[in-house]
Amino acid sequence: MNETEQLLEQVADRVRTSARGHGEPLPEPLADGAAERAAQVLGFALPPLLAALYTRIGDGGFGPEYGLLPLRQVIGEYEAGRASDWGWPEGVLPIADLGCGMYACVDCRSETAQVLLFEPNPGERDLAWYLTSPSLARWLRDWLDGTGWFREEWDEDEMEVAPWAEFSSRCEA
């Protein structure tokens, strides 16, 4: 079993365990071809790990904070962001609502599917984007082992996020 398969199995185990504890059923995985249809709408492919989460685990509802958004909502939020005054970067999908207008986002143009934080609360678009994880796989591992900055008990001094250097080159003026 390769690392991706092992990670998907760990996520599935966590999802099954938490679903039993909460009593709320999670959305079913998306049907085969859903990732390809999303790519046609978006104009770019989903990273393989993200596509596997949606087609093998479930259509959102699990993961850090409030969990992954359903894929249809991801597409809608992305399109709304691209049409907004925030200059939403091309190829960056909001995948999880973190509350207070913040989103965890995946950079679909990055080879590792970097995870970014969109934090609009300071009110300046140039200060709204931060790199929070070098890869989607690492972000998920941090969630699984409770070491991510989004864990329930964390100190702001521990938050290791840096401004996303690619923002200005990746968005429309």
Tokens representing 104 are 């965890």
Q: Is residue 67 classed as helix, strand or coil in its secondary structure?
A: coil
Q: Note the pLDDT of residue 165.
A: 83
pLDDT for residue 172 is more than 80: no
Q: Note the pLDDT of residue 149.
A: 64
Q: How far apart are CA 95 and CA 71, in angstroms?
A: 8
Q: At what angle do helices 3-22 and 136-145 cross, to 10 degrees?
A: 40
pLDDT for residue 155 is more than 50: no
Q: How far apart are CA 91 and CA 9, in angstroms?
A: 27
End-to-end CA distance of the chain: 45
Q: Note the pLDDT of residue 25.
A: 78
Mean pLDDT of the chain, nearest integer: 87
pLDDT for residue 173 is more than 50: no
Domain ranges of the chain: 3-146+161-170
> Over the stretch 55-86, which tens digit does the pLDDT of each residue have?
999 999 998 888 899 999 999 999 999 998 88
pLDDT for residue 160 is more than 80: no
pTM confidence score = 0.89
- Are 115 and 65 contacting, i.e. CB atoms less than 8 angstroms apart? no
**Assigned architecture for domain 3-146+161-170:** 3-Layer(aba) Sandwich (3.40)
Q: How far apart are CA 101 and CA 55, in angstroms?
A: 27
- Are 89 and 127 contacting, i.e. CB atoms less than 8 angstroms apart? no
